[in-house]
């Protein structure tokens, strides 16, 4: 898929040229760094078992829109989190004012919507709009749930469904629509991608507590520092007595403004020892298993194997 993904990257770069050299160079860095290209790759793979060649240009355009939507969401995420690094490189908000960074993010959102419209498919535009709304819902939930220890798993799952899984699901659905799959297959591919997206976010939350700064490209325990309660922390809270030292430490790190690195590191160690991380990993594995079962609707073994390979890529640690 390398050549097809290169076509996607070229289309993204075409619409992200700005008249402001600083912003333009940082955006270019983000686009070219690109990570695993999971979302645009999913658009292409979801359309590949069907009328792929006949609708290739539309699929590339949709994939570029999905990737740009992802980049725009990262720009706004980093602004909200005041993050200085992304994948080990300076973020846009580290070299521009907050107002300027938000406007650049808005520009990228607008460009991604224009790419979706360029497909000429009304269903794709509707899915894109719905995905954008779900992304915003997830981000708002994360913002309003920050610094609260009294959360439940259902609320967490709704949050990551919007924040992360919605873009996976939307990418798959747009690709299957443009590939001219039947409605049942479109629904199954969307559900497959959504469950993988949930597992992906849970795994990312686990990595935040188990990997080093060098691996993550950002400080370990960053979610705790932001007051974000992820699944491992939530499960740890549920098994911790309210009058215990561990609960006091958790409440301090999640709720208070002034916390030290020692406090965060001590809490990470307590979460690791509690078994909460293993339980969260078990939830991710169950989601992966249910997702893969959805692919039985794909008739061709090669294309089904490609989607299975995408799932493995999405959930590989490095």
> Which range among 13-17, 268-272, 296-300 has the greatest average pLDDT?
268-272
Q: Is the pLDDT of residue 165 over 70?
A: yes
Banded model confidence at residue 51, pLDDT cuts 50, 70, 90: confident
Query: How far is Cα of residue 151 from the mean position of the Cα atoms in its chain?
Result: 21
Compute the mean pLDDT over every residue in the chain, rounded to the nearest whole number: 89
Is 271 in contact with 247 (CB distance < 8 Å)?
no
- pLDDT of 211 reads 82
- Out of 89-98, 166-175, 251-260, least confident range: 89-98
- On whether the pTM is more than 0.85, the answer is yes
Mean pLDDT is highest, among 63-77, 88-102, 253-267, for 253-267
| pLDDT confidence tier of residue 16, bands split at 50, 70 and 90 | confident
pLDDT, mean of residues 224-244 = 94
* Residue 198 clears pLDDT 60, i.e. is over it: yes
- φ/ψ of 83, rounded to 5, equals -75, 135
In the predicted structure, residue 85 carries a pLDDT above the cut 60: no
pLDDT over 90 (residue 5)? yes
Q: What is the predicted pLDDT for the residue at 118?
A: 96
pLDDT band at 279 (very low <50, low <70, confident <90, very high): very high
The residue-averaged pLDDT of 194-201 equals 98
What number is the average pLDDT over the span 268-282? 96
Please give the Cα distance from 172 to 176 (Å, whole number): 6
Predicted confidence (pLDDT) at residue 286 exceeds the cutoff of 70:
yes
The C-alpha atoms of residue 318 and residue 316 are separated, in whole angstroms, by 6
Asked if 124 contacts 178 with a C-beta cutoff of 8 angstroms, the reply is yes
Q: Could you tell me if 174 and 62 are in contact, meaning their C-beta atoms sit under 8 angstroms apart?
A: yes
Report the alpha-carbon distance of residue 194 to residue 177 in Å, rounded: 16
Q: Is the pLDDT of residue 54 over 80?
A: yes
What average pLDDT does this structure show over 79-105? 68
Would you say residue 227 has pLDDT above 70? yes
Domains and CATH numbers, the chain: 2-315 (1.10.600.10)
* Nearest by Cα to 232 from 256, 201, 263, 253: 201
């Amino acid at each position: 898929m390398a050549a097809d993904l290169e076509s996607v990257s070229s289309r993204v770069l075409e619409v992200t040229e700005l008249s402001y050299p600083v912003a333009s160079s940082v955006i270019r860095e983000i686009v070219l760094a690109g990570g695993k290209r999971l979302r645009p790759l999913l658009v292409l793979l979801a359309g590949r078992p069907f009328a792929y060649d006949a609708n290739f240009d539309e699929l590339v355009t949709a994939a570029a829109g999905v990737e740009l939507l992802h980049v725009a969401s990262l720009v706004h995420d980093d602004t909200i989190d005041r993050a200085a690094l992304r994948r080990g490189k300076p973020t846009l908000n580290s070299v521009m004012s907050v107002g300027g960074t938000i406007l650049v993010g808005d520009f990228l959102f607008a460009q991604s919507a224009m790419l979706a419209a360029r497909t000429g498919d009304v269903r794709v535009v509707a899915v894109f709009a719905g995905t954008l709304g779900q992304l915003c819902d997830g981000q708002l939930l994360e913002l309003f749930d920050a610094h609260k220890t009294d959360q439940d798993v259902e609320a967490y799952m709704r949050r990551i469904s919007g924040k992360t899984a919605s873009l996976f699901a939307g990418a798959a659905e747009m690709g299957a629509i443009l590939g001219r799959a039947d409605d049942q297959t479109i629904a199954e591919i969307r559900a497959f991608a959504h469950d993988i997206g949930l597992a992906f976010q849970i795994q990312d939350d686990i990595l935040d507590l188990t990997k080093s700064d060098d691996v993550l490209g950002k400080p370990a325990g960053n979610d705790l520092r932001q007051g974000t309660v992820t699944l491992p922390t939530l499960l740890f809270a549920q098994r911790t007595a309210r009058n215990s030292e561990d609960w006091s430490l958790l409440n301090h790190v999640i709720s208070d403004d002034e916390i030290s690195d020692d406090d965060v590191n001590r809490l990470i160690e307590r979460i690791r020892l509690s078994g909460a991380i293993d339980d969260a990993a078990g939830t991710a594995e169950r989601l992966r298993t249910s997702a893969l079962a959805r692919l039985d609707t794909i008739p061709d073994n090669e294309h089904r194997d490609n989607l299975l390979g995408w799932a493995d890529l999405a959930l590989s640690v490095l």
